[in-house]
Chain A
Amino acid sequence: MNNTLPEKIIEEIKKQGIEPRPRWQFLLKRSVLWSLAIFSTVLGGIAIAIIIFTFIDHDAGVRVYLKESAVDDILLSIPYFWLATLATLTGVTKYAVRHTKFGYRYATARIIAAVLIGSTLFGIALNAIDIGERVQDFLVETVPAYDALTYTSKDSWSQPEKGLLGGTVTGVVSSEYFELIDFHRKTWRIDMSELQDHNDVTIKQGVVVKIIGTKKDSSTFSAGQIFPWGN
């Protein structure tokens, strides 16, 4: 027998019962890669939304009040966790896109730029409907490790020893007292007898406020100024 190579190969294919891999396997692989790319971009968008919220949420007035350095304040307010998460997700998306059918045709810088633009636009849209804040609050409340990693404006206004207290009004006792539950669920009696400025805040149940004042004892705080939360 003196078969040519093409004939030998066909014989081998037949002898070993080799069959083409079904098309669905390739389609599945492509779908997984594109799903991974889209999923990572969406998560990247959430990361961007939280990063944007973190900067918006940052209360520079606290630094001024506490006379802390601007550099320390900036370093403290940078959302390192989300920046690292965004970098990781961008890497994952780049990997997934690169491994799609024609993903290799695009330069790495172009893929990364496209992913970041996509995540940023999505993040801006998510932040506009408060998703950044909601995810941030959810994680702070449910994941202790995340809470420990994250410094929010609620942390800034949870320093009664330094004269900063924030929380939700739970009841008005009299014209000089109201009750407040802080961000760590501790109940305070707020003394307004020395109040200088309430900045047009109407004290009533459910209103979230931030107060500059003095801690009188373990559960009483004397208010000097009251501000609406978020301003």
Chain B
Amino acid sequence: MNEPNKKTDQELVLDTKKNKDSFVEIIRRYESAIRRYIIRLGCRDPHDVDDVLQDIFIKVYVNINEYDAGLKFSSWLYRIAHNEAISFYRKKSVRPAPVATEEETHLFEYIADETNFTESLDIKINGDILRKALAELEEQYRDVLVLRFFEEKSYTEISDILKIPEGTVGTLLNRGKKLLNDILTTKNINL
């Protein structure tokens, strides 16, 4: 078992520029988080996940000189991951269907708490319903909801990942939550 590397992301980036073997540390540090993220974005086939992950990290390596310390490294990495995942869906001509596992369903309650819009819903939400509801949302809303409530990113981080102003992040989140609530309300009625 390797000792966790104590170096900062910036130090690892500098090391990678000097020696490509140092890039392993960056991959190790972010592999799980990025894997989870692309699965949450809808990439479900394990082989596809590995392929997309490999493409993401190779792209990170190729563009490592573009990284600027004015940005959180994780935000820059998530940005590449997001773009690669979207590009993967476009190549496959499929609409991403976000995945929410059973243990993630509590996140819906977190979303709900922020707006108090589901006190009256009284539905026992499960992962499948949440996944389907998210899949029905437009990409722009789904992207910010996944980053905010599943990846627990700040507004600034979401802004840096999706390359949109923070004000737009707030607007998309509010509209996204409202739309998600509408979809879930409809599903509740239909249940």
Contacts and interface: CB of A to CB of B under 8 A. Distances in A.
B62 A18 contact: yes
B90 interface: no
Nearest to B163: A104
A218 to B, nearest CB: 65
A21 interface: yes
B134 to A, nearest CB: 24
Contacts of B66: 21, 26
Contacts of A22: 65
Nearest to B64: A20
A5 B166 contact: no
B163 A13 contact: no
B20 A13 contact: yes
B23 interface: yes
A19 B19 CA distance: 11
Contacts of B28: 6
A8 B54 CA distance: 8
A107 B17 CA distance: 34
Contacts of A21: 62-63, 65-66
B68 interface: yes
B164 interface: yes
A106 B165 contact: yes
A13 B23 CA distance: 10
Given A20-B61, A101-B68, A6 B27 contact: yes
Contacts of A104: 159, 163-165
A185 interface: no
B125 to A, nearest CB: 33
A14 B24 contact: no
B31 A6 contact: yes
Contacts of A67: none
A5 B31 contact: yes
Interface residues of B, number: 30
Contacts of A7: 24
A20 B18 CA distance: 11
B58 A102 contact: no
Given A5-B27, A5-B31, A10-B21, A18 B61 contact: yes
Interface in B150-191: 159-160, 163-168
Contacts of B64: 20
B14 to A, nearest CB: 12
B165 A5 contact: no
B141 interface: no
A9 interface: yes
Contacts of B71: 102
A10 B160 CA distance: 27
B189 to A, nearest CB: 37
B165 A14 contact: no
Interface string A1-43: 0000111111011100011111101100000000000000000
Given A9-B57, A14-B20, A106-B165, 20 more contacts: A5-B31, A5-B50, A6-B31, A8-B54, A9-B61, A10-B24, A10-B27, A12-B54, A13-B20, A13-B23, A13-B61, A18-B61, A20-B61, A22-B65, A101-B68, A104-B159, A105-B159, A105-B160, A105-B165, A105-B166
